[in-house]
Amino acid sequence: MRVLRHIDRSEFQFDFCTCWPRPGDFDQEVEQLGGRVLPCDLMGNLLTFPKRFRGIVREGRYDAVHAHIDWYCGSIVREAQRAGVRMRIAHMHSISEGGKQKIKRRVHRWLMKRWVDQWATHGLAVSALAAAALFGPDWRADPRVRVLHHSIDLEAFRQPVDRQAVRQELGIPEGAPVLGHVGRFGPEKNHEFILKVAVEAAKRCPELRVLLVGDGELRCEIEARAQALGLDRRVIFTGVRPDVPRLMLGAMDAVILPSLWEGLGGVLIEAQAAGLRSLASAAVPRETTVVPGAIEYAPFSEGPGQWANRLFRILAQGRLDQGEAMDAMEHSDFTVEYAGKFLPELYRHAVL
């Protein structure tokens, strides 16, 4: 969506094939920007999905198919090849969740990687770790594969924000320190650990608040857990918000990201653009550090108490110098301007 908003739409048309039958958050905007949303339910009937997807691609006569569904990219690029698409891009946004996997999942991922290797004309990944997960440990030797970091629109972080108004809107007491987290309520984001850290932090600072932005299958469970821990007045659940930069600039004092696994950790990039310091798990790729010293990486072995201590040290340091942080971001490859040049250059090869 960020690229669609900035790309030359007189040269490119983006159509979005979605894998769920329900409407998406950006359907209306896609259509306003000249694209189409084409539902093709993946989980509704997994066996017929390839044929249905292949039909959509053939009807659209697309020059390129850019697959963003991680391991299942293998099936997408295979069907795109069968439909006659010249450019087939497999784009990895995550990594393996680690731990012991069931045989069925291991076989599926082996097959997907094999299909990607066989049928993808190009490979992209949000980090070196994500590239290794899908394209193998020797991905750097494959001329098809590149890292394209998560991109953000810096303009949203340049807008003036009334900090007092934002905090009043969220019911945050004046002067209360706020830890922020932005992400889907899924197993990998480890919201349970955030609550454990909040319990320890509240012993030292009762007025502390935790702002959880996002939605997902585990949200109700985490809300119930927060209440059981006596945190229901300290933890604020906002749901999905279109104004994350405003919340970061106006409400948050630091960001916490205790992910169990992470392809990159885009929220940390946004946090730096907002001038926020962050505490992340050791599982988060170090590529997320754009502004020197902006992010601390901690192991889970330290426990929630030590994480809380780290957070208080981070809060005591104060916010980053906004000018220096923004300058570092502008000269990085994490901007939508960079992606807006990189991807069109790549797509043009589909019609040469």
Tell me: the pLDDT tens digits for 69-84?
999 999 999 999 999 9
Angle between helices 219-228 and 191-204 (to 10 degrees): 30
What is the distance between the alpha carbons of residues 188 and 99, in angstroms, rounded to a whole number?
A: 12
The pLDDT assigned to 216 comes to 93
Which residues have CB under 8 Å from 47's CB, separation 6+? none
Spacing of C-alpha 340 from chain mean position: 18
Residue 238 has pLDDT above 80, yes or no: yes
Which of 245, 297, 243 lies closest to 269 in space, CA to CA? 245
Q: Strand, helix or coil at 87?
A: strand
In this prediction, residues 166-182 reach a mean pLDDT of: 96
Spacing of C-alpha 176 from chain mean position: 28
Q: CATH assignment of 2-151+335-348, given 3.40.50.2000, 3.30.450.20, 3.40.710.10, 3.30.1360.40? A: 3.40.50.2000
123 or 99, which is more confident:
123
What is the distance between the alpha carbons of residues 109 and 286, in angstroms, rounded to a whole number?
A: 25
Q: Provide Rg for the chain, Cα atoms.
A: 21
Spacing of C-alpha 256 from chain mean position: 14
What is the distance between the alpha carbons of residues 59 and 40, in angstroms, rounded to a whole number?
A: 14
Residue 175 has pLDDT above 80, yes or no: yes
Which of 204, 210, 211 lies closest to 313 in space, CA to CA? 204
Q: How many CB atoms lie within 10 A of CB 58?
A: 15
Residue 97 has pLDDT above 80, yes or no: no
- Say how many CA atoms lie within 13 Å of 189 toward its Cβ: 22
Average pLDDT over the chain, rounded to an integer: 94
Spacing of C-alpha 280 from chain mean position: 14
The pLDDT assigned to 23 comes to 84
Residue type, 294: A
Q: Determine how β-strand 295-298 pairs with β-strand 277-281.
A: parallel
The pLDDT assigned to 100 comes to 61
Q: What is the pLDDT of residues 187-215, one digit of tens each?
A: 999 999 999 999 999 999 999 999 999 99
The pLDDT assigned to 2 comes to 84
The pLDDT assigned to 185 comes to 97
- Cα 315-318-323 angle, rounded to 5 deg: 140
Shared fold status for 2-151+335-348 and 154-330? yes
Q: Which of 98-102, 141-145, 206-210, 271-275 has the lowest mean pLDDT?
A: 98-102
Residue type, 217: E
The pLDDT assigned to 349 comes to 87
In this prediction, residues 301-330 reach a mean pLDDT of: 96
Cβ–Cβ < 8 Å for 208, 202: yes
Cβ–Cβ < 8 Å for 139, 131: yes
What is the distance between the alpha carbons of residues 234 and 252, in angstroms, rounded to a whole number?
A: 14
Which of 279, 209, 211 lies closest to 243 in space, CA to CA? 211
Alpha helices in 205-348 (DSSP H): 219-228, 244-250, 266-273, 303-317, 322-330, 336-348
The pLDDT assigned to 207 comes to 95
The pLDDT assigned to 99 comes to 56
Kindly list the domain boundaries of the chain, sorted by start residue: 2-151+335-348, 154-330
- The CATH code for residues 154-330 is 3.40.50.2000
What is the distance between the alpha carbons of residues 166 and 274, in angstroms, rounded to a whole number?
A: 15
